[in-house]
Amino acid sequence: MGTCWPFKLMVMVGFLAVSIISFQSANADPQTTLVNKGCSQYNASNTGNFFSNLNATLADLRNQLSNKHFATAQQARSSDPVYAMVQCRDYLSTADCVSCYNTAVSQIRNCSAANGARVIYDGCFLRYESTTFYDQTTVQGNSQICSNQTAPQPANFQTEAETLLQELKLATPRINGFFAATKRQLSNGGDTVYALAQCAETVSPSGCQDCLTVADGNIQGCLPNTDGRAFDAGCFMRYSATPFFADNQTTNINPYLGGGGSNKKKAIIGGVVGGVGLLLIIFALLLGYLLYRKPKKAQRGDILGATELQGPVTYSYKVLKSATNDFSEENKLGEGGFGEVYKGTLRNGSVVAVKKLNIRSGRAKAEFESEVRLISNVHHRNLVRLLGCANKGAELLLVYEYMANGSLDRFLYGEKRGFLSWKQRSNIILGTARGLAYLHEQYHVCIIHRDIKSSNILLDDDFLPKIADFGLAKLLPDDQSHLSTRFAGTLGYTAPEYAVHGHLSEKVDTYSFGIVALEVISGRRSNDMTVEPISEYLLEKAWKLYETDSHIQLVDETMDPNDYNVAEVKKFIEVALICTQSQPSERPTMTEVLIMLSSDQSIEQRRPSNSTISSDRRFFRDTLTSLTDTTSSNSNATASFTEFTGR
Ligand SMILES: *[C@@H]1O[C@H](CO)[C@@H](O)[C@H](O)[C@H]1NC(C)=O
Ligand SMILES: *[C@@H]1O[C@H](CO)[C@@H](O)[C@H](O)[C@H]1NC(C)=O
Ligand SMILES: *[C@@H]1O[C@H](CO)[C@@H](O)[C@H](O)[C@H]1NC(C)=O
Ligand SMILES: *[C@@H]1O[C@H](CO)[C@@H](O)[C@H](O)[C@H]1NC(C)=O
Ligand SMILES: *[C@@H]1O[C@H](CO)[C@@H](O)[C@H](O)[C@H]1NC(C)=O
């Protein structure tokens, strides 16, 4: 699950509740004043798996809270994994901690099936995501909440609070458990400042320090008001003119102050009293460490833990140009219907695939931005993730996650032919079906891919499929043709009603999926006739074999017969044939395909029927034959409808 976390431009439900309740008593108060909450705008893909994972994770966290104040738990076995973290302020009793947690759970459940959520209270916080985030320290969205009441002695209060917060920033990363609560009386007597700092126990000391540096910067903005809170992914800070923890819960931070900050003197005196040499060495090391660390600049954003919320990042053209070595031949990964694709290495070391689109039409260019926004919000493990874009003149660049294993066609009939086992092949067929079902039925608008083919399906490190190029068909040039007859498909994969009449529905993808499934099973190209003694396309051959119940012969001969279950392979072939029936209405939806592929019985009620070889298909076949004769058997070409029929 390779995920990058660029983020910008996304709207979400996060909001801040600026309600400051004054502290009454340290006991029997779970401190459930809300600081921040938010739900991811992306829903789990399989809510059954998701809720069972979430429930198990939340129960696990609750159990752990019986003897600690920090816990993580995860359920990552099935789809829709859940990773979660809870932390209570250490000054809360176990009962208050559990009570705060319970409030957090009921609050976070309001996010329904969102695949990420968080809630932060004065007393505790709870967060879950679909990927691990335990080592996150400071992320965009870090912020602060201030009371709007000025302290009675503003100047004095500000000075003491600043010092106290700085000391906390310095000491907390050095304290086992990353928690410190402390107080300080104003120099002229009178008021007291109370403050605390805490980091997630799963971050490193330097991560804690980074986070508190940002938090301290944020919370200082609240002074000289009476209350301030700063929150971030990996830490929390709070100060107040009123006590919010009991006296006997204060931490003595003095031993941890050596090496910088405002209390150097105290530390040195401490060092003299203790073993001078050793302490001075430690002090020198710490000082060096602090001086040579670059504190991360505070980033302001709207959302804490923006990880679950990604929108398109606008890259600078120059950055992408240098990442791809000026779009050099060596960096070229391939050429698709939409333009060339290059491998790029960004300055932070992450590897991406950069697609260069050539869009001449002005209307298409205008569509580009809204289309990019739409597809950059599509998140599914079987769909290639769009990370961002750039444009310069007529040139538009799309930045995608990089898939080291390349495209499926290489493994079927390219240089890696014979590599894939049946298990891998069936996972590829299932994953592709899941990705399409998501695009058609689960995403908030139905996205029809229009160009499903083996070279558009990429394989990740585990040979699981990710569909590429979805949402782009709309951007194809349509200079000469009118809208409804734009044909964005590829010969050999495209449903006849779309190729011939331009009739577009999600069943166009079902058809192409069926063809890809046959390719995956047979290891043959859909539009290749060269290997056969009798001229037959893959689909025709599959139908013929099926009619004599000998379709198992279609299976790739490079596969070991002990490797697969004959009945299962036959079922997959039958489902593929059902998908490629001439009439769109006879083809199943992708969700139905998934059900058929994963269950044993349903297929009996829905035998594939080829009885109606439509005139469309016959026409289609003849056209295909004459076209592939004149191009080559290696026809990967994307044709426009006018080219295709204008003979
Ligand atoms: C997520 O689910 C909620 C409730 O089930 C629904 O209101 C919302 O529109 C869904 N969001 C997306 C992006 O599908
Ligand atoms: C998860 O817990 C909620 C609330 O307790 C419950 O309504 C739901 O049925 C549970 N879901 C699963 C899949 O266990
Ligand atoms: C969240 O859910 C709780 C009950 O589980 C309800 O009392 C509360 O009003 C909800 N909050 C919001 C903001 O919807
Ligand atoms: C300041 O606090 C008062 C009372 O707590 C509230 O009514 C008011 O809206 C707050 N003002 C701002 C700017 O937040
Ligand atoms: C802290 O003080 C409270 C009374 O304010 C008392 O109930 C509690 O037991 C004390 N805790 C410890 C650890 O001494």
Nearest CA to ligand 2 atom 14: 52
Ligand nearest to the CA of 107: 3
CB distance 248 to ligand 5 below 6 Å? yes
DSSP 254-298: GGG--SSGGGHHHHHHHHHHS-HHHHHHHHHHHHHHHHHS-PPPP
Annotated binding residues for ATP: 356
User: With a 6 A CB cut-off, is 28 part of the ligand 5 pocket?
Assistant: no
Pocket of ligand 3 (CB under 6 A): 106-107, 109-110
- Whose alpha carbon is nearest atom 9 of ligand 4? 148
Report whether 318 contacts 382 (CB < 8 A).
no
CA gap 190, 624 in Å, rounded: 90
Q: From ligand 5's centre to the CA of 94, what distance in Å?
A: 13
| Gap between the Cα atoms of 315 and 300, Å rounded | 19
* Ligand 2 atom at minimum distance from 54 CA: 1
Spatial distance between the Cα atoms of 564 and 318, rounded to a whole number of angstroms: 50
SS3 428: helix
CA-closest residue to ligand 3 atom 9: 107
How far lies 491's CA from each of 387, 467, 638, in Å?
29, 18, 7
Sequence ranges of the binding site: 356
Q: Are 353 and 388 in contact (CB under 8 A)?
A: no
How many angstroms separate the CA atoms of 289 and 206, rounded? 10
Atom of ligand 5 nearest to the CA of 246: 5
Hey, whose CA ends up nearest to atom 14 of ligand 4?
A: 148
What the chain holds in terms of domains, given with CATH numbers, is: 34-129 (3.30.430.20), 148-259+285-293 (3.30.430.20), 310-401 (3.30.200.20), 409-630 (1.10.510.10)
Taking the CA of 13 as reference, the closest ligand is 3
Q: Please give the angle made by the CA atoms of 641, 643 and 647, to the nearest 5 degrees.
A: 110
pLDDT (tens digit, 9 = 90+) per residue, 619-637? 555 555 554 443 333 333 3
243 preceded by cis ω (within 30°)?
no
Phi, psi of 55 (to 5 degrees): -60, -45
The sign one gets for the Cα dihedral 304, 306, 309, 312 is positive
How many angstroms is it from 108 CA to the middle of ligand 1?
15
**Distance from the alpha carbon of residue 56 to the mean position of ligand 2, in angstroms:** 9
Please say whether the beta carbons of 521 and 425 come within 8 A.
Answer: yes
Chain center to CA of 563: 34
Which residues of the chain register pLDDT less than 50?
A: 1-26, 260-311, 477-486, 611-612, 627-647
302: annotated active-site residue? no
Residue at token pair 């299976």: 555
Catalytic residue among 451, 460, 469, 556: 451
Pull the structure tokens for residue 610: 């080829």
pTM value is 0.49
Rounded CA separation 146/17 (Å): 11
By the 8 A CB rule, do 10 and 303 touch?
Answer: yes
pLDDT at res. 538: 87
Using the structure block, give the residue that is written with the tokens 């899941």.
Answer: 434
Task: For ligand 2, atom 8, name the residue with the nearest CA.
Answer: 51
Tell me how long the chain is. 647
- Select from 132, 134, 61 the least CA-distant residue to 102: 61
